[in-house]
Amino acid sequence: MTYTKFGEFMRVLRVQHHEVMGDVAKLLGVSTPFLSAVENGRKNVPDEWFDIIAEHYALSDDEIADMKMAAENSRNQVKITLSKSENYQREVALQFARSFDGIDEDTAEKIMALLKRSGNN
């Protein structure tokens, strides 16, 4: 079974606390299959889970930051709200979405460098 970074993070917590997936699903108020889908990357991590998990496992600030980074790295979808965007911003977002699957590593690195230079990292 392949886990995302968030799935790996949660699996370690469960093992350390002698819990099974069903225990955590109950804590989060979801079904075990839904939790499994999140851990395997088929669903994004709901934002409301962070506080519940942090409190239940008494996570440190560093562990909370690690959990949130793992969740961010596990995202399978990103939503961009364009309602307050300028026309040029809309065009860039839509063109990027259309071109996304064809971006190679070199192009991705150039885009990242450009975004970092503009202060939007």
3-class SS string, the chain: CCCCHHHHHHHHHHHHCCCCHHHHHHHHCCCHHHHHHHHCCCCCCCCCHHHHHHHHCCCCHHHHHHHHHHHHHCCCCCCCCCCCCCHHHHHHHHHHHHHHHHCCHHHHHHHHHHHHHCCCC
Q: Taking CA 96 as the corner, what is the angle to CA 94 and CA 97, rounded to the nearest 5 degrees?
A: 65
Would you say residue 121 has pLDDT above 60?
A: no
Q: How many residues does the chain have?
A: 121
pTM above 0.75, yes or no: no
User: What's the pLDDT score for residue 26?
Assistant: 97
Give pLDDT, residue 120. 56
User: What's the rounded mean pLDDT across residues 33-59?
Assistant: 95
The tens digit of pLDDT for each residue in 68-103 reads 999 998 887 778 888 899 999 999 999 988 898 899
- Amino acid code (one letter) for 84: K
Query: Between 1 and 30, whose confidence is greater?
Result: 30
Confidence band (pLDDT; 50, 70, 90) for 1?
low
Tell me the domains of the chain and their CATH numbers.
5-73 (1.10.260.40), 87-117 (no CATH)
